[in-house]
Amino acid sequence: MTKRPSDIPSKPTVQVIERMFTLIDVLASREEAISLKDISEKSGLHPSTAHRILNDLATGRFVDRTQPGSYRLGMRLLELGNLVKGRLNVRDAALAPMRELHALTQQPVSLSVRQGDEIVYIERAFSERSGMQVVRAIGGRAPLHLTSVGKLFLAGDDPQRIRAYVTRTGLQGHTKNSITQLETLERELSRVRQYGQANDNEELELGVRCMAAGVYDDQGKLIAGLSISAPSGRMEDSWLPKLKETARQISETLGHRPGTMA
């Protein structure tokens, strides 16, 4: 069961994590590096305890040691912050256009991003009138090769990375239509590159088809995929131009301009 915000504890239940948060807050309070002595005083932690946790944080690049005994926040926090910012921005930019696209098609519209070998659904627009048996919840995941959005991301990989994906995942199938062979996947990805959109022909769920178009940032990088899902008998090819136009609109809101590709 998903916790409601009121169910989330007001502070961490694991002591070392609470101390880690305290140390990060102390480092965040100063622009310059802080000595271990000052960190210990401000956090209320014994120097040896603070030193041990800071060294672990430094291993993960969450903290930098500028010189022996001095620490500041690390670049990994900036990287993660930019990642979260990008995903929040794309959700903000996408929500209104997604609702318009749903109103046109009366079918679920989803926004997904890549996370490793899977896509993660981060936003959706749908209603009960769609007749869909399966609607992927926000936060849900699915393998790249079984989804229309996942194929968009795989199509952007070079052949070596695609083969590595196949080796890691084994191209496990979910239905009789699932792509489970490298040669078949390569042909499918070639079509994705050619037409600039991707399809899921009942490969993830029997009775459900999807079409997807990419969403790009100001650097021309594919950061998300916009998809329409529908019962197999209701999917209409006439929706594709509007899907692409909606994805283009979201991309332009994020600063993308045609011809700018990463």
> Is pLDDT above 80 for 112?
yes
How confident is the model at residue 4, as a pLDDT?
42
Ramachandran quadrant class, 131 (left: phi over 0; alpha: psi -120 to 50; beta: rest)? left
pLDDT at 121: 94
Residues in the chain, overall count: 262
Name residue 159's amino acid: P
Q: What is the rounded distance in angstroms from the CA atom of residue 41 to the CA atom of residue 244?
A: 56
Task: Please count the other Cβ atoms lying within 10 Å of the Cβ belonging to residue 39.
Answer: 24
- What pLDDT was estimated at residue 261? 61
pLDDT, residue 6, reads 43
pLDDT reading at 154 higher than 50? yes
Q: Where are the alpha helices (DSSP H) in 114-202?
A: 148-155, 159-169, 182-195
Distances (CA, A) of 80 to 143, 240, 248: 23, 34, 26
What are the residues whose beta carbons fall under 8 Å from the beta carbon of 155, sequence distance 6 or more?
189, 192, 193, 198
| pTM higher than the cut 0.85 | no
pLDDT of residue 206: 94
Q: Are 221 and 257 in contact (CB under 8 A)?
A: no
Beta bridge partners of 225: 112, 214
180 — pLDDT class (breaks 50, 70, 90): very high
Higher local confidence (pLDDT), 210 or 12: 210
Whether the per-residue pLDDT at 10 is higher than 70: the answer is no
Instruction: Confirm if 211 and 148 have CB atoms less than 8 A apart.
Output: yes
Q: Count other Cβ atoms within 10 Å, centred on residue 235.
A: 20
Q: Which tops the pLDDT comparison, 130 or 124?
A: 124
Sign of CA dihedral 244, 246, 248, 251: negative
pLDDT tens profile 56-104: 999 999 999 888 889 999 988 888 877 776 676 899 999 999 999 999 9
Residues 6+ apart with CB under 8 A from 91: 111, 122, 123
Which of the four pLDDT bands, split at 50, 70 and 90, describes residue 260?
A: low
pLDDT (0 to 100) of residue 257: 83
**Tell me, what amino acid is at 199?**
N
Q: Tell me the average pLDDT of the chain.
A: 89
Q: Give yes or no for residue 238 having a pLDDT over 60.
A: yes
> Which strands form 198-201's sheet, in the order they lie side by side?
141-143, 118-125, 109-115, 222-231, 208-216, 198-201
Q: Are 114 and 144 in contact (CB under 8 A)?
A: yes
Q: What DSSP element (H or E) covers 23?
A: helix 15-28
Q: What is the pLDDT of residue 11?
A: 66
| Contact present, 165 and 144 (Cβ < 8 Å) | yes
2 — pLDDT class (breaks 50, 70, 90) = very low
